[in-house]
Structure 1
Amino acid sequence: MLRRSLLAAAALLATRPALAQPADAAARAQLLPTGRLRVGIGVGPAASAFWAMRQPDGTARGVTVALAQEAASRLGVPLDLLLLNSSGEVVEAGATATPSWDLSFMPVDAERVARLDFGPDYYLSTSTYLAPAGSPLTSVEQANTPGMRIWGVANTTTIRASQRTAPRATITAAASLDQVMAAIARGEVDGVALGRESLDSLLPRLPGARILDGHFHALGTAIVVPRGRPLAHAWATAFIESAKADGTVRRALDAMSITGPVAPAGSRTAGA
Structure 2
Amino acid sequence: MRTASRRLARTALLAIAVTVLLGAPARADGEAKLLAPSGTLRVGIYPGSPTSMVTDAAGKPHGLAYDLGGELAKRLGVGIDYVRFQRVADIVTAIHDGQVDFTVTNATPARANDVSFSQPVLAIELGYLVPVNSPIGKIEDIDKLGVKIGVTKGSTSERTLPAKFKNATIVPAESVKVAVGMFSRGEIDLYATNKPTLFEMSDQMPGSRILDGNWGAEHMAIAIPKGREDALPLLNRFVAEEQSSGALDTIQQQAGLRGAAKTH
TM-score, L = length of structure 1: 0.81
In the alignment, structure 2 segments of 5+ residues that lack a partner are 1-24
CA contact (8 A) 1:162 1:216 kept: no
CA distance in 1, matches of 2:130, 2:257: 21
In the alignment, structure 1 segments of 5+ residues that lack a partner are 1-20, 266-272
Trace 1:35-114 onto structure 2 (pairs within 5 A). Answer: 35-44=39-48, 47-48=49-50, 50-53=51-54, 60-96=61-97, 99-114=98-113
Q: 1:224–1:159: structure 2 CA closer, same or farther, 3 Å change rule? A: same
Trace 1:202-217 onto structure 2 (pairs within 5 A). Answer: 202-217=201-216
Q: 1:251–1:127: structure 2 CA closer, same or farther, 3 Å change rule? A: same
CA distance in 1, matches of 2:26, 2:72: 11
CA distance in 2, matches of 1:24, 1:73: 12
CA distance in 1, matches of 2:27, 2:233: 10
CA contact (8 A) 1:147 1:170 kept: yes
CA distance in 2, matches of 1:100, 1:213: 39
CA contact (8 A) 2:151 2:171 kept: yes
Once the two structures are overlaid, the 10-residue window that deviates more, 243-252 or 226-235, is 226-235
CA distance in 1, matches of 2:56, 2:251: 17
CA distance in 1, matches of 2:157, 2:253: 23
Trace 1:160-175 onto structure 2 (pairs within 5 A). Answer: 160-175=159-174
CA distance in 1, matches of 2:26, 2:242: 15
CA contact (8 A) 2:130 2:190 kept: yes
Q: 1:225–1:27: structure 2 CA closer, same or farther, 3 Å change rule? A: same
CA distance in 2, matches of 1:160, 1:141: 20
What's the secondary structure of 1:65's corresponding residue?
A: helix
Aligned match of 1:150: 149
CA distance in 2, matches of 1:136, 1:240: 42
Displacement of 1:24 in angstroms is 4.3
Aligned match of 2:227: 228
Consecutive aligned runs of 4 or more in structure 1 exceeding 3 Å deviation? 54-60, 259-262
Aligned residues: 240
Displacement of 1:221 in angstroms is 0.6
Identity %: 26
CA contact (8 A) 2:125 2:259 kept: no
Cα deviations by residue, 1:154-189 (Å, 9 ceiling, x for unpaired)? 111233332232242111111111211111111222
Alignment equivalent of 1:31, drawn from 8, 31, 35: 35
Displacement of 1:201 in angstroms is 2.1
What's the secondary structure of 1:43's corresponding residue?
A: coil
Aligned match of 1:186: 185
Aligned match of 2:196: 197
CA distance in 2, matches of 1:57, 1:261: 24
Letter in 1 for 2:47: V
From the CA coordinates, give the structure whose radius of gyration is larger.
2
Q: 1:190–1:176: structure 2 CA closer, same or farther, 3 Å change rule? A: same
Q: 1:33–1:142: structure 2 CA closer, same or farther, 3 Å change rule? A: same
Q: 1:264–1:210: structure 2 CA closer, same or farther, 3 Å change rule? A: closer
CA distance in 2, matches of 1:22, 1:172: 51
TM-score, L = length of structure 2: 0.83
CA distance in 1, matches of 2:69, 2:192: 27
Once the two structures are overlaid, the 10-residue window that deviates more, 228-237 or 111-120, is 228-237
Displacement of 1:225 in angstroms is 0.9
Trace 1:4-23 onto structure 2 (pairs within 5 A). Answer: 23=27
